[in-house]
Amino acid sequence: MASIVNIGRRVELVPIDTHFKDITLALYRQQLHARTVYRVHTYSRLDGVPDRIQAVMKSMCILGGMQEISDGLLCFPCGARHEAACRRVFLEACKYPSDAPVEPRPLQILDKKSQLTISVESVGNGIYNVSSNGEGRSATRRVAAIAGGLKKLGEMNTDAENSDDSINFSCGHSHDALVGLLLVRAPNVRVILRQEEASASRGVLSAPSQQT
């Protein structure tokens, strides 16, 4: 008989894991002493489920710079919540088959819209500076837009003095892998947030009782 444990509050859901028998995977958040911890969970009892959960957790550690602390729990090294970012790490991790190689994303992308190379540099204390290989007003505007995208996706803050190109995590820690992961989405942040609102309103976030 399964023991009933408090697994916390569900914060994200993958209704159909196409890489493993179409099971439903969910991300739960709970507080453990001073730290916010996350658990990948499914109600499925199919053979191989624990291995799939373990593979998703391992991918989250690589893609998001998270760490497994104990008993299937993940957290960021700083212990802060970073919930929006963690949800994205979970969604990305679920896109990989269990045996696929997973690597952290670089802190540099080619922005398709401007054809500029956008770089993000960690300068310590959780502060990141965004820059491009271009010059002029349009490059400055594009850098500001992408810094704004990162800020939204990562629930980051802007620096009062360099508000266009400098953003920071309030925990004061660096999260390079996480920033690399968010950077891929940052140029299209508006489209992404709109899609997510649409899918949420279509009822993709079904109740646990409807999960298999």
Binding site residues, Zn ion, CB under 5 A: 78, 80, 169, 171, 173
For the bound state, the minimum distance from the C-beta of residue 77 to Zn ion, rounded and expressed in Å, comes to 7
Ranges assigned E (strand) in 18-72: 23-32, 35-41, 67-70
**Least gap, CB of 139 to Zn ion (angstroms):** 29
Q: What angle do CA 206, 187, 103 make, to 5 degrees?
A: 75
Q: Which is nearer to Zn ion, 42 or 168 (CB)?
A: 168
CB count within 10 Å of CB 167 equals 24
The CB-of-46 to Zn ion minimum distance in angstroms stands at 35
Of 160, 156, 185, 183, residue with least CA distance to 168 = 156
CB of 195 to Zn ion, least distance (A): 26
Q: Which is nearer to Zn ion, 65 or 187 (CB)?
A: 65
**Nearest in space to 7 (alpha carbons), one of 77, 68, 52, 74:** 74
Helix (H, G, I), strand (E, B) or coil at 137: helix
Q: State which residue, 78 or 179, has the beta carbon closest to Zn ion.
A: 78
Looking at beta carbons only, is 64 or 187 nearer to Zn ion?
64
Query: CB of 37: closest distance to Zn ion in angstroms?
Result: 13
Which CB sits closer to Zn ion, 154 or 187?
A: 154
Residue 90 to residues 53, 66, 93, 163: CA-CA distances in angstroms?
A: 11, 11, 5, 29
